[in-house]
A = this chain, B = another copy of it.
């Protein structure tokens, strides 16, 4: 490992081996469960990592913006779902994508947006209704039969829209702890999604596909009976939030932020890192007794990083500073100018902030964010 002496500023390290294993494991699981695999690429935003999915036979992906769809389309992806409610201010760009991408899938949740989309398109395009199964971010309420039927009817009678299925995000699972709690939330949400499916079937909209997306459910459930498609994204890297949920092991977390040690405060068991909110993001999760942890400290070594240090956590972040609580034995080994690794609380946002990754052999992996 000759990488570390080169690192002078916070750097998002990628363990390519772990990342490829995460991809292979989830692709194999989708095949085993007979569920279509449409991974969410917002976590990595990288054409190169998209190629690692291709190596596992994946041909469909999910993105969260028109810009991201344009990027992956330019890198040869022909089956893309934009998993965000249609942004009417980007209609011309969406219509252009629909001409260029053989299998573009769009989300709708209102009659107004459906009508505007149909007017803008000049080719048949697959549409999913976004369903709110109880998470209350967005979507048509699973029990709002009137709005479900009305929107489906408008889509059904549109010239260019083809109603493909119902799509939901069971975001509550990100606040769960353990497989049992995740499973309970998954089954409650799935029951709601299937209820919406039955409501529409009773009104002549049969054979609608069901698409779900959260990493905790996709990682922890051994049966996705009734689901047509899964769209997990975070699993490609995982992070300390997924570790706290129990959706991964520490050995599966594929990214760590290498942070220069700026100062040491042994009297309060803390190291101050060059590595703050502009590197890790301000996202956090509860960890043990601490309601707010911004990540987990790890030691960097010859072949990557080790397990999270016992009792270690990131207590606070400001723009460039991070304050890591460390066990005395680890703190005693550190000096200003050393590097410490942090498993980020939210790998998607850490990647977004850093705009690139560096593999353990020092290779830079570019993303859309550098363009």
Which residues of A are interface residues toward B (Cβ below 8 A)? 7-9, 42, 64-65, 67, 84-90, 93, 109-110, 112-113, 116, 136-139, 141, 171, 260, 262-265, 267-268, 272, 274, 277-278, 281-284, 316, 318-321, 323, 335-337, 339, 346, 348-349, 352-353
Determine the distance from Cα of A139 to Cα of B264 in the docked complex, in whole angstroms.
9
Q: Determine whether the beta carbon of A336 is less than 8 Å from that of B110.
A: yes
Q: A67-B9, A265-B138, A282-B283 are in contact. Are A260 and B88 (CB under 8 A)?
A: yes
Q: Looking at the assembled complex, report how far the CB atom of A64 sits from the nearest CB atom of chain B, in whole angstroms.
A: 5
Chain copies in complex: 2
Q: Determine whether the beta carbon of B335 is less than 8 Å from that of A112.
A: yes
Given A281-B282, A282-B284: 8 more A-B contacts, CB < 8 Å: A9-B87, A9-B90, A85-B262, A87-B274, A87-B337, A89-B339, A136-B268, A281-B281
Q: Determine whether the beta carbon of B8 is less than 8 Å from that of A90.
A: yes
Q: Determine whether the beta carbon of B277 is less than 8 Å from that of A283.
A: yes
> Which B residues are CB-close (under 8 A) to A336?
85-86, 88, 110, 112-113, 116
Query: Which residue of chain B lies nearest to A284 when distances are taken between CB atoms in the complex?
Result: B282
> Which B residues are CB-close (under 8 A) to A137?
272, 316, 318, 321, 323
Partner of A282, one of B7, B267, B282, B319: B282
> Which B residues are CB-close (under 8 A) to A93?
8
Q: Determine whether the beta carbon of A323 is less than 8 Å from that of B138.
A: yes
Q: Determine whether the beta carbon of B9 is less than 8 Å from that of A263.
A: no
Q: Determine whether the beta carbon of B67 is less than 8 Å from that of A282.
A: no
Q: Determine whether the beta carbon of B263 is less than 8 Å from that of A109.
A: yes
Q: Determine whether the beta carbon of B337 is less than 8 Å from that of A319.
A: no
Partner of A337, one of B88, B171, B263: B88
List 29 A-B residue pairs with CB atoms under 8 Å apart, sorted by A's residue number.
Answer: A8-B87, A8-B89, A42-B320, A64-B319, A65-B320, A84-B274, A84-B320, A85-B336, A87-B260, A87-B262, A88-B337, A89-B337, A89-B339, A109-B263, A110-B264, A110-B336, A112-B336, A116-B336, A116-B337, A136-B268, A137-B272, A137-B318, A137-B321, A138-B263, A138-B265, A138-B323, A139-B263, A282-B346, A319-B349
> Which B residues are CB-close (under 8 A) to A323?
137-138
Q: Identify which of A8, A263, A352 gathers the most chain B CB atoms within 10 Å of its CB.
A: A263
Partner of A262, one of B84, B141, B265, B272: B84
Q: Determine whether the beta carbon of B283 is less than 8 Å from that of A86.
A: no
Determine the distance from Cα of A348 to Cα of B9 in the docked complex, in whole angstroms.
20
> Which B residues are CB-close (under 8 A) to A320?
42, 64-65, 84
> Which B residues are CB-close (under 8 A) to A272?
85, 137-138
> Which B residues are CB-close (under 8 A) to A65?
9, 320
> Which B residues are CB-close (under 8 A) to A274?
84, 87
> Which B residues are CB-close (under 8 A) to A88?
260, 336-337
> Which B residues are CB-close (under 8 A) to A267?
141
Query: Which residue of chain B lies nearest to A141 when distances are taken between CB atoms in the complex?
Result: B267
> Which B residues are CB-close (under 8 A) to A349?
277-278, 282, 319
> Which B residues are CB-close (under 8 A) to A136?
268
Q: Looking at the assembled complex, report how far the CB atom of A339 sits from the nearest CB atom of chain B, in whole angstroms.
A: 8
> Which B residues are CB-close (under 8 A) to A89?
7-9, 260, 337, 339
Q: A87-B260, A281-B282 are in contact. Are A319 and B348 (CB under 8 A)?
A: yes
Query: Which residue of chain B lies nearest to A138 when distances are taken between CB atoms in the complex?
Result: B272
Q: Looking at the assembled complex, report how far the CB atom of A191 sits from the nearest CB atom of chain B, in whole angstroms.
A: 21
